[in-house]
Amino acid sequence: MSRVAALLVFIVACVFFALLQRSRPRLLSSPAVRYSYYPASILLAIVALNCLLISVGTDRMYFLQQAVYGLSLGSVYALIALGYTMVYGIIRLINFAHGDIYMVGAYAGYLALTSLNLPFIPALIIAMAVAALLGVLVERIAYKPLRNSPRITLLITAIGMSLLIENVWQKVFSSTPRTYPNIFAGSYNILGISIDQSRLIVFIVTILLMLGLQYFVTYTRPGMAMRAVSQDRDAARLMGIDIDRVIAITFAVGSALAGAAGVLVGIIFPQIKPTMGIMPGLKAFVAAVIGGIGVIPGAMLGGLIIGVSENLVTAYVSSSWRDAIAFGLLILILLVKPSGILGRHTREKV
Amino acid sequence: MQRHPNQLRGSLIWIATAALALLVINVMIARDMLDSYIAGVLNIAGINIILATSLNLINGVTGQLSIGHAGFMAVGAYTAALLSIHYDTPFALNLIAAFVTAAIAGFIIGLPTLRLRGDYLAIATLGFGEIIRVIIQNLRITRGARGLVGIAWVDSFFYTEIIAILTVLIIWRLVNSAPGRAMVAIREDEIAAETVGINTTFYKVMAFVIGSAFAGAAGAVYAHKQTFISPNDFTFLKSIDVLVMVVLGGLGSITGGIVSAVSLTLLPEFLRFIDEWRMVIYPLLLVVVMLFRPQGLLGTKEVDFRAARESIRNLALRLSRRRAELDESGGAVDVTLGESTAANTLQVVVEQETSCRGKDGESSSKPLLQTNGLSIYFGGLKAVSDLNLSVPEGALHGLIGPNGAGKTTVFNMITGLHPPSEGEIYFKGRRIDGQPPHAITDTGIARTFQNIRLFKDLTVLDNVKIAFHLTAGYGLGSALVQLRPFHEKERWIESEALRLLRMFNLHDRSMELAKNLPYGEQRRLEIARALATNPSLLLLDEPAAGMNPQETANLMDLIRRIRDEFGLTILLIEHDMSLVMQLCERITVLDYGVTIFEGTPEEVRTNPRVIEAYLGEEAV
């Protein structure tokens, strides 16, 4: 009986979600709704999935546990995805080297925690600073001279930069994995779900960083300049905005977030190595595309979706299919709505 | 005949040289003069040639960035390996099977993803490459990460070489035929390609399928050479290897790709330290090439002995000229001279033009183009609403209105670029709305663009030749076999293209790159290209924009002349009122998407509503 009820709830939730989607533009115009909309929809989706699982008779606690794990992994993806999306929004480039900047951030955090024996917060800040510096450096060396070149040239350069960082790193630090010190060992029990302290920290830090980013982009002058440049570079230039500086700031901010993600991933999955950036980098890009590339809330949404679905696939299917799910989702979204869930449809002017 | 280095073409000398080199290698192998190690390296070089050439067709020629080539190689390799292990089939059969399965995989993947553009396509191919690998890693039949062993060993330099030659030959011939020109056109400007009648999706998928198929063949050769394969042979890095070869050689240059495929295979063998640092040097090379020579070593050019000889001669000439220039300066006067002769020729033609057409009477009863209640919405904005246009055969109809009135949108709807939201379009009595642009071009509608869309990096001649796509009348098969009818057709296209260029006084410029033409000539070239599709209705979008009064006068004569000579019906958007009033027989006036008046120039000139909406109240 309860199974049937759960199934009904699931169906109602789906219909409600579909209706919500249709009136989204109107809803989002009110600021009160705007900030609660995405968390609320994710919550709704989890409730709906949960009901579905009850209806097919799976262990609910196990599912919730996996979903929570997925959320912490997803928040790391989301942090990386933000950098992709910001850079894409501003210079229309898939910065392939972004995943490697995340890797360098993880190493910087590791060195700060072990060699310098610093506590967590300073180590995080150092990692973010190092990543930001590297991001700006990559932009200056490789992308800036090509600003007016065809997109394919830029894209190939980005692929080249990614491989370069990765392999130089491998030569310098060797390919042996390093292990992060175990700084957050405890775990909490909330409503029957056990949550590791480390995962909770990851989630909290991510949320704080995202709120900070949202504030930066919406209310500060550089943030406004950034949005202006992403709308129309030439018009922004004519309004007296220093394009080069804005692009550098974008790379710095995006890379800093990736650096933070590197440290956060280090405290959940302690093993780090020079090639660790490839897969999360690609998946984070996929997350950005799924959410709608160039749209900041989209990157968060996409990251969480990928993190949760990846963990669920691992839990219910097999971990060896884990890497396929992100790309499967990518193909699906590109076929159904190429501009992404929150993306706007653009038409080429003829 | 004079050739531009960027003109698409084939070269026999190359094939002869390659054949000679291979003959020497074969004799040496047969006589045991090369040890098996060197033979093995040469074999890998051959496989890399196949991979680079096939990827070049997708990335360089068609301009679709694919970074998942290793995935298709894997499909071919596993197909051949499984057949060999389980059924003990001969190599030739495995090869064909690999070719076919990789082609099928390419089709399945290409059809949905090639609707996407640029970056998205790159990421989708990357995703598919990874998915293929994950699938291989998880299937029992492929034995997961352990890989497959016991594939029949084939001493295959001979086979590799034959397949490499076939690959190069087929792709070379393809590139130098109508289908290849269509692919190049897609690379240069997809929308313009579509409007000269090229089914862009079809040709993109074709390039993708052919490229994937040959990658599959390379995989089969690889599997039989190694006798052992595992998913780790076909990672993202393998795709990057191939991409580096193509980029280094120059995207679009087949010979360049071959040269760099061979050098990048041989180099690490000679310089051991390179092998150790390969994964640092390759990406560095990629970045440096992109930064300092983004077109690659050869750009889209091909290595051509004749071109080499010519450039040496040019160099000598330039040296001697510089010496001469030291003595005297000047010599920039002839440019203006050329312009005025062009004007004169047109003047002569206009005088001949008095021989009028005499069919106006009966044809006006049935319109050539008719739209009923045509409307389109962009979001909430109704850009054009309820347009009822009726253009009789042979007419010269004008479409005017203030900026943003929706004139170009009307053109976009007629040519299929923006499907209308409501209403119908009839052309020659058949309904055409909802059809893709290339199909509409095929029914006989051609257009030019407000902001000229030429294939900028191709020659003037190639621009026109591409537009003969619909009338080329041969397919992939005859492009590959190249029998006599093919050559006759190609000669016909070339002579027709030159005839058109002569008519537009552009034949002296036929080997110039389109982007190097002055503005007025670019406009004329765009009209010539439109005419090459053999239209009965020509849509001209602001043909006189940016022209001076003299050029505008010449343009008017040209428009009248082509209408008579080609029996055209012309629909024209223009802001130059004197041109519209003198040229057009009927005029439709749009304002905010609404038709506010239709009539003769005289009526338009005196209609108060038009004057108020269009010319402004003070003009009354």
Question: What integer is the mean pLDDT of B364-369?
Answer: 72
Using a CB-CB cut-off of 8 Å, the residues of chain A touching B279 are 163, 167, 170
pLDDT value of position B237? 81
Confidence band, pLDDT 50/70/90 cuts, at residue B75: very high
Name the more confident of A79 and A32: A79
Q: B190 with B122: CB under 8 angstroms?
A: no
For residue B259, give both structure tokens: 């040269």
* Strand pairing report for A178-179 and A187-190: unpaired
For residue B312, give both structure tokens: 């040496």
SS3 B527: helix
Q: Establish if B130 touches chain A: CB-CB under 8 angstroms.
A: yes
Nearest CA in chain A to B133: A324
Question: What integer is the mean pLDDT of A245-253?
Answer: 94
Single-letter amino acid code for the residue at B97: A
In percent, how much of chain A has pLDDT > 70? 88
Spatial CB neighbours of B225, under 8 Å, sequence gap ≥ 6: B40, B43, B47, B153, B154, B156, B160
Q: Say if the Cβ atoms of A167 and B191 lie within 8 Å.
A: no
State how far residue B144 is from chain A, nearest Cα, in angstroms. Answer: 10
Question: What integer is the mean pLDDT of B368-388?
Answer: 85
State the helix-helix crossing angle for B236-249 and B278-292, rounded to 10 degrees: 40
pLDDT value of position B319? 67
Confidence band, pLDDT 50/70/90 cuts, at residue B8: very low
Tens digits of per-residue pLDDT, B542-587? 888 888 888 888 888 889 888 888 889 999 998 888 888 888 889 9
- Is B426's pLDDT higher than 50? yes
pLDDT value of position B618? 53
Q: Which of B67, B128, B287, B542 to mutate to test the interface with A (most CBs of A within 10 A)?
A: B287
Nearest CA in chain B to A169: B280
Q: How many CB atoms lie within 10 A of CB A200?
A: 17
Enumerate residues 104 to 133 of chain A having a beta carbon within 8 A of any beta carbon in chain B: none
Using a CB-CB cut-off of 8 Å, the residues of chain A touching B144 are 320
Q: How many CB atoms lie within 10 A of CB B308?
A: 10
Of A25-29, A135-139, B2-6, minimum mean pLDDT range: B2-6
Q: Establish if A338 touches chain B: CB-CB under 8 angstroms.
A: yes
SS3 B371: strand
CA neighbor of B232 nearest in space, from B137, B99, B128: B137
Confidence band, pLDDT 50/70/90 cuts, at residue B537: very high
pLDDT value of position A251? 95
State how far residue B286 is from chain A, nearest Cα, in angstroms. Answer: 6
As a whole number of angstroms, the distance between CA B157 and CA B572 comes to: 61
Confidence band, pLDDT 50/70/90 cuts, at residue B225: confident
As a whole number of angstroms, the distance between CA B438 and CA B585 comes to: 29
Name the more confident of B151 and A88: A88
State how far residue A194 is from chain B, nearest Cα, in angstroms. Answer: 32
- Is B357's pLDDT higher than 50? no
- Is B440's pLDDT higher than 60? yes
Distance of CA B73 to the CA centre of its chain: 26
State how far residue A275 is from chain B, nearest Cα, in angstroms. Answer: 12
Q: Which of A172, A283, A285, A327 to mutate to test the interface with B (most CBs of B within 10 A)?
A: A327
As a whole number of angstroms, the distance between CA B583 and CA B562 comes to: 13
Mean pLDDT, chain B, whole residue set: 80
Question: What integer is the mean pLDDT of B460-478?
Answer: 83
Spatial CB neighbours of B117, under 8 Å, sequence gap ≥ 6: B190
Tens digits of per-residue pLDDT, B276-309? 777 788 788 888 888 887 777 666 666 555 555 6
Q: B52 with B245: CB under 8 angstroms?
A: yes
Q: Establish if B111 touches chain A: CB-CB under 8 angstroms.
A: no
State how far residue B175 is from chain A, nearest Cα, in angstroms. Answer: 21
The phi and psi torsions of B295 (rounded to 5 degrees) equal: -85, 5
Confidence band, pLDDT 50/70/90 cuts, at residue B326: low
SS3 B396: strand
pLDDT value of position B5? 42
Q: Say if the Cβ atoms of A150 and B294 lie within 8 Å.
A: yes
> Least CB-CB distance to B112: which of A152, A335, A348?
A335
SS3 B579: helix
Q: B338 with B289: CB under 8 angstroms?
A: no
Reported ipTM: the value is 0.76
Confidence band, pLDDT 50/70/90 cuts, at residue B614: low
Of A101-115, A192-206, B339-353, B500-514, minimum mean pLDDT range: B339-353
Q: Say if the Cβ atoms of B290 and A170 lie within 8 Å.
A: no
Question: What integer is the mean pLDDT of B370-396?
Answer: 86
In percent, how much of chain B has pLDDT > 90? 17
Q: Say if the Cβ atoms of B138 and A321 lie within 8 Å.
A: yes
pLDDT value of position B354? 35
Range list of H helices, B177-199? 178-188, 190-195
* Strand pairing report for B148-149 and A271-272: unpaired
> Least CB-CB distance to B290: which of A92, A153, A321?
A153
Q: Which of A95, A149, A152, A318 to mutate to test the interface with B (most CBs of B within 10 A)?
A: A152
Tens digits of per-residue pLDDT, A112-136? 999 888 898 999 999 999 999 999 9
Q: Say if the Cβ atoms of B123 and A161 lie within 8 Å.
A: no
SS3 B66: coil
pLDDT value of position B131? 84
SS3 B383: strand
- Is B42's pLDDT higher than 80? yes
DSSP state of B294: T
Helix (H) or strand (E) holding B599: strand B594-599
Total beta-carbon pairs less than 8 A apart between chain A and chain B: 121
- Cα angle B412, B417, B418; round to 5: 75
Q: B77 with B233: CB under 8 angstroms?
A: yes
Q: How far apart, in Å, are the Cα atoms of A270 and each of A169, A181, B105, B355? A: 18, 7, 39, 87
pLDDT value of position B172? 85
Q: Which of A163, A169, A293, A335 to mutate to test the interface with B (most CBs of B within 10 A)?
A: A163
Q: Say if the Cβ atoms of A164 and B113 lie within 8 Å.
A: no
Q: Which of B120, B123, B457, B515 to mutate to test the interface with A (most CBs of A within 10 A)?
A: B123
- Is A320's pLDDT higher than 90? no
SS3 B3: coil
Tens digits of per-residue pLDDT, A50-93? 777 776 666 667 777 787 888 888 999 999 999 989 998 888 88
Single-letter amino acid code for the residue at B463: N
For residue A87, give both structure tokens: 């850079």
Tens digits of per-residue pLDDT, B77-101? 999 999 988 888 888 899 999 999 9
Confidence band, pLDDT 50/70/90 cuts, at residue A19: low
Q: A340 with A293: CB under 8 angstroms?
A: yes
Of A159-173, A261-275, B139-153, minimum mean pLDDT range: B139-153
pLDDT value of position A22? 56
Q: Establish if B19 touches chain A: CB-CB under 8 angstroms.
A: no
For residue A321, give both structure tokens: 């299919």
Q: B540 with B572: CB under 8 angstroms?
A: yes
As a whole number of angstroms, the distance between CA B276 and CA B51 comes to: 23
Using a CB-CB cut-off of 8 Å, the residues of chain A touching B66 are none
- Bridge partners, B598 (sequence order): B588
Using a CB-CB cut-off of 8 Å, the residues of chain A touching B191 are 348, 350
pLDDT value of position A129? 96
- Cα angle B387, B393, B399; round to 5: 40
pLDDT value of position B538? 92
Q: Establish if A136 touches chain B: CB-CB under 8 angstroms.
A: no
The number of residues making up chain B comes to 620
pLDDT value of position B78? 93
Three-state SS annotation for chain A = CHHHHHHHHHHHHHHHHHHHHHCHHHHHCCHHHHHHHHHHHHHHHHHHHHHHHHHHCCCHHHHHHHHHHHHHHHHHHHHHHHHHHHHHHHHCCCCCCHHHHHHHHHHHHHHHHHCCCCCHHHHHHHHHHHHHHHHHHHHHHHHHHHCCCCHHHHHHHHHHHHHHHHHHHHHHHCCCCEECCCCCCCEEEECCEEEEHHHHHHHHHHHHHHHHHHHHHHHCHHHHHHHHHHHCHHHHHHCCCCHHHHHHHHHHHHHHHHHHHHHHHHHHCCEECCCCCHHHHHHHHHHHHHHCCCCHHHHHHHHHHHHHHHHHHHHHCCHHHHHHHHHHHHHHHHHHCCCCCCCCCCCCCC
Q: How far apart, in Å, are the Cα atoms of B251 and each of B63, B213, B305, B488? A: 8, 20, 20, 30
- Is B212's pLDDT higher than 90? yes
Quickly tell me which residue has 């409501």 as its tokens: B422
